[in-house]
Chain A
């Protein structure tokens, strides 16, 4: 029994959530609560033009008339929307600034998180190592965006949303809200009213973005919600790969994260969008605290032969409720969704995708791997639909769920709607526990139980991990291991 005790102690001593620290900096808040005045306050803080304010106020009007949805397989006490700050910013100048002006505490935060914000640091790294540009969003504002010059030379616009509204209003006006309409759903509508910042990317025709783009979201302030808005446009023949990461401090209260991501893909263009979501999941024993991650992500494949690939590794958040979707409007457009969703402790996840086939010969592929452990609940929910015009549409879906322990739950809820005679849809799903035989085999070869579980789990999620950009695949693999620590034994 000594060995068992040792394992238990070891597991207890593990640092469960290593991003849970708080950065003490001077912050500026909007008054608590939500009203048209707060919307005006946010807009004024960001120095927005009149049309943007009007857009927000319209959204707020509509949000007031909407009801909170309840259909997901998630359970949480009612959210008091008046009991939160809708704007929190590090004191000082608004918007991205030069690195020298950024509060050193914030820089230290990102350093601690392993996010390189100094270009020279990135450049000074291992020779030949992949470079990527970062937009760092701290609570409600983008604090810095790197490699802007080099990207500009290639014609790529990569900046914060606030900056885009000021500098590129024609692009923003043309595309903002065109994929996720203002009143699409309750949280998207709330986001439209109070969104604070986020990334804006425009890749001009024929340009292959010279490096990976990345945004790192950090919630720091207490009692605040984060409402970022991201808009990525890949013009004809363009290519861009974009990655977002997210962390938050450990707190006893729940914090709301209601983001909207819109992707617009024109003829022959491609966007690869990867997410490593590691918001604070709440206390694994009591379920206290953690982020409510209620996010609307949608890609509009407007162009012929356009392609979108969503890859997500979801390990954090108390509740994850999101369905990155593809509207496959263009002829022969392609949508892909690769997902790993891991829940442990008392986390709840209801996530999946929608593939809406409108264009002829459009294709989609869904690979979803759900792992539940502890007392958590993990649901795959997805829709595949083919419009009568989507002749020759093709979908393949595979959803596998793995259960670790007696008290967790795994659900699979796919919706299929086929409306023409030439589409082919295939869906398969399995739910099983970790194979005792395989565990025994691995342990008999000298691996500890934890290691054996990790090995098997990594094998289980391999199909998705290999779709991640290389430099993040390693991080994701580690994250998978950390998320499952303490789930066996």
Chain B
């Protein structure tokens, strides 16, 4: 069940499938009978930032090739855009990114997954290490091709007093999984894991998170929102583990989704696995249509129904986007949502 290995070896049976509990709703083995050929080296690419606020560094990785290390020295502050591009029609590639953030350093990392071709199978491993008191905000724009298959698996290690915040924004793909695993030391470290998926057509998106609280005094907050239309399918799996002795953990998880079509689907599994007693853990999960009362109120004020629906949907998703701390990125995220929701 190793995607990187499946791609290098060309052995499709190594892909995870619905018989693997953590992949029950994102079946890659059933979808991909044969691993595509390795993607060729990509053409040079004009690296421009997708963002208004100019990042300090813009790095491009084409078909898995390119720089893969990022280091922010102790006390430094950096704003970095990392763009992963898939250009090979029906090609498969692995990419990797190693990020180390020194003591007291601060990093805003914008990762974007873009494409100039469909039918690819892309697998990206992201490793992020935060030293004591480091602060990272990671924003993922997953703009995969409708025919692409993409897996992004991030593993995050925090030291004491570190703060890690993340927002994943996606419109899905043929199959797409964005997984984040956080090793939480407790010790006044803070984790925020947010996400928004806005899906149409036959797109799929799977947002999976695992947070393991290993020590005392850790905080985790999570808010994921989704909107699915047409025949699209959104998956949310969130697991919070509180190890024995990880007392005074405060963990809260929310997942809320709107289904705007009878052919769309939402699958959710918010899990709490608790082995310590002095904890505050909660999760909430709601799935449903737009609130009829709110719609009625808006229409009664003279708003056309379409606009009322669009505004209510935008407000629903807006809650996630507003939590992005970096101003320029938040504005880009707002523009992304507005475009998708046609407000």
In the complex the two chains form, is B277's CB within 8 Å of A430's CB? Answer: no
Per-residue CB proximity of A385-415 to B under 8 Å, as 1/0?
A: 0001001000000000101111111111111
A478 within 8 A of B: no
In the complex the two chains form, is A418's CB within 8 Å of B259's CB? Answer: yes
In the complex the two chains form, is A425's CB within 8 Å of B285's CB? Answer: yes
Give 3 closest A-B pairs by Cβ, nearest first.
Answer: A424-B288, A403-B277, A427-B285
Q: Which residue of B lies closest to A411 (CB)?
A: B273
Report A-chain residues with C-beta under 8 Å of the C-beta of B245: 406
CA distance A417 to B265 in the complex (A): 7
Q: Give 5 pairs: A residue, B residue, CB < 8 Å, sorted on A.
A: A391-B262, A418-B265, A427-B284, A428-B283, A433-B279
In the complex the two chains form, is B285's CB within 8 Å of A416's CB? Answer: yes
B193–chain A nearest beta-carbon distance, Å: 17
A98 within 8 A of B: no
Q: Which residue of A lies closest to B25 (CB)?
A: A417
A421 within 8 A of B: yes
Report B-chain residues with C-beta under 8 Å of the C-beta of A418: 257, 259, 265-267, 287-288
B210 within 8 A of A: no
Given contact pairs A415-B269, A428-B284, A429-B283, A409 touches B275 in the complex (Cβ within 8 A)? yes
CA distance A425 to B266 in the complex (A): 11
Q: Of the candidates A388, A407, A426, which one forms a contact with B286 in the assembled complex, judged by CB atoms under 8 Å apart?
A: A426
A76 within 8 A of B: no
A461–chain B nearest beta-carbon distance, Å: 18
Given contact pairs A406-B244, A431-B279, A414 touches B285 in the complex (Cβ within 8 A)? yes
In the complex the two chains form, is B259's CB within 8 Å of A410's CB? Answer: no
Q: Of the candidates B262, B274, B283, which one forms a contact with A409 in the assembled complex, judged by CB atoms under 8 Å apart?
A: B274
Q: Which residue of A lies closest to B259 (CB)?
A: A421
CA distance A409 to B288 in the complex (A): 32
B54 within 8 A of A: no
Q: Of the candidates B257, B260, B270, B273, which one forms a contact with A414 in the assembled complex, judged by CB atoms under 8 Å apart?
A: B270
Q: Which residue of A lies closest to B283 (CB)?
A: A429
Which residues of chain B from 2 to 57 have any CB-CB distance to chain A below 8 Å in the complex? Answer: 21
Q: Of the candidates B272, B276, B277, which one forms a contact with A412 in the assembled complex, judged by CB atoms under 8 Å apart?
A: B272
A59–chain B nearest beta-carbon distance, Å: 24
In the complex the two chains form, is B269's CB within 8 Å of A413's CB? Answer: yes
The number of residues on chain B lying at the interface, defined by a beta carbon within 8 Å of a beta carbon of chain A, is 35
Report A-chain residues with C-beta under 8 Å of the C-beta of B263: 388
In the complex the two chains form, is B262's CB within 8 Å of A429's CB? Answer: no
A76–chain B nearest beta-carbon distance, Å: 19
Given contact pairs A420-B259, A423-B259, A411 touches B282 in the complex (Cβ within 8 A)? no
Given contact pairs A414-B270, A416-B266, A416-B268, A407 touches B284 in the complex (Cβ within 8 A)? no
Report B-chain residues with C-beta under 8 Å of the C-beta of A430: 281-282
Most B CB contacts (10 A, CB to CB) among A408, A411, A431 go to A431
A223 within 8 A of B: no
Report A-chain residues with C-beta under 8 Å of the C-beta of B261: 421
CA distance A401 to B272 in the complex (A): 10
Most A CB contacts (10 A, CB to CB) among B245, B277, B283 go to B277
The number of residues on chain A lying at the interface, defined by a beta carbon within 8 Å of a beta carbon of chain B, is 35
Report B-chain residues with C-beta under 8 Å of the C-beta of A414: 268-271, 285
Report A-chain residues with C-beta under 8 Å of the C-beta of B285: 414, 416, 425-428
A422 within 8 A of B: yes
In the complex the two chains form, is B267's CB within 8 Å of A411's CB? Answer: no
Q: A401-B272, A412-B271, A428-B285 are in contact. List 7 more A-B contacts (CB 8 A).
A: A71-B21, A404-B277, A409-B273, A417-B266, A422-B262, A428-B282, A432-B279
Q: Which residue of B lies closest to A373 (CB)?
A: B277
A210–chain B nearest beta-carbon distance, Å: 42
CA distance A413 to B268 in the complex (A): 10
B162 within 8 A of A: no
A168 within 8 A of B: no
A45 within 8 A of B: no
B198–chain A nearest beta-carbon distance, Å: 15
B255–chain A nearest beta-carbon distance, Å: 9
Per-residue CB proximity of B242-265 to A under 8 Å, as 1/0?
A: 001100000000000101111111
Report B-chain residues with C-beta under 8 Å of the C-beta of A405: 277
Report A-chain residues with C-beta under 8 Å of the C-beta of B259: 418, 420-421, 423
CA distance A120 to B287 in the complex (A): 54
B67 within 8 A of A: no
A149 within 8 A of B: no
CA distance A261 to B226 in the complex (A): 38
Report A-chain residues with C-beta under 8 Å of the C-beta of B280: 431-432
A112 within 8 A of B: no
Q: Which residue of B lies closest to A384 (CB)?
A: B287
Q: Which residue of A lies closest to B261 (CB)?
A: A421
Q: Of the candidates A406, A420, A423, A427, which one forms a contact with B277 in the assembled complex, judged by CB atoms under 8 Å apart?
A: A406
A91 within 8 A of B: no
Q: Which residue of A lies closest to B236 (CB)?
A: A416
Most B CB contacts (10 A, CB to CB) among A388, A405, A410 go to A410
CA distance A412 to B257 in the complex (A): 20
B40–chain A nearest beta-carbon distance, Å: 40
Report B-chain residues with C-beta under 8 Å of the C-beta of A431: 272, 274, 279-282
Q: Of the candidates B260, B269, B277, B289, which one forms a contact with A433 in the assembled complex, judged by CB atoms under 8 Å apart?
A: B277
CA distance A70 to B120 in the complex (A): 35
Given contact pairs A423-B287, A425-B286, A411 touches B272 in the complex (Cβ within 8 A)? yes
Given contact pairs A415-B269, A416-B269, A422 touches B283 in the complex (Cβ within 8 A)? no
In the complex the two chains form, is B274's CB within 8 Å of A416's CB? Answer: no
B278 within 8 A of A: yes
B263–chain A nearest beta-carbon distance, Å: 7
In the complex the two chains form, is B271's CB within 8 Å of A413's CB? Answer: yes
CA distance A423 to B268 in the complex (A): 14
A37–chain B nearest beta-carbon distance, Å: 35
In the complex the two chains form, is B262's CB within 8 Å of A388's CB? Answer: yes
Report A-chain residues with C-beta under 8 Å of the C-beta of B287: 416, 418, 423-425
A419 within 8 A of B: yes
Q: Which residue of B lies closest to A392 (CB)?
A: B289
B238–chain A nearest beta-carbon distance, Å: 11
CA distance A242 to B266 in the complex (A): 36
Q: Which residue of B lies closest to A389 (CB)?
A: B262
Given contact pairs A416-B269, A421-B289, A429 touches B282 in the complex (Cβ within 8 A)? yes
Report A-chain residues with C-beta under 8 Å of the C-beta of B262: 388, 391, 420-422
In the complex the two chains form, is B271's CB within 8 Å of A411's CB? Answer: yes
Report B-chain residues with C-beta under 8 Å of the C-beta of A421: 259-262, 264, 289
CA distance A427 to B259 in the complex (A): 16
Report A-chain residues with C-beta under 8 Å of the C-beta of B244: 406-407
CA distance A391 to B265 in the complex (A): 13
Q: Which residue of B lies closest to A394 (CB)?
A: B288
Report B-chain residues with C-beta under 8 Å of the C-beta of A409: 273-275
Per-residue CB proximity of A426-458 to B under 8 Å, as 1/0?
A: 111111110000000000000000000000000
B203–chain A nearest beta-carbon distance, Å: 16
Report B-chain residues with C-beta under 8 Å of the C-beta of A403: 274, 276-277, 279
A460–chain B nearest beta-carbon distance, Å: 14
Report B-chain residues with C-beta under 8 Å of the C-beta of A412: 270-272, 283
Q: Which residue of B lies closest to A428 (CB)?
A: B284
Q: Which residue of B lies closest to A426 (CB)?
A: B286
Q: Of the candidates A388, A401, A415, which one forms a contact with B274 in the assembled complex, judged by CB atoms under 8 Å apart?
A: A401
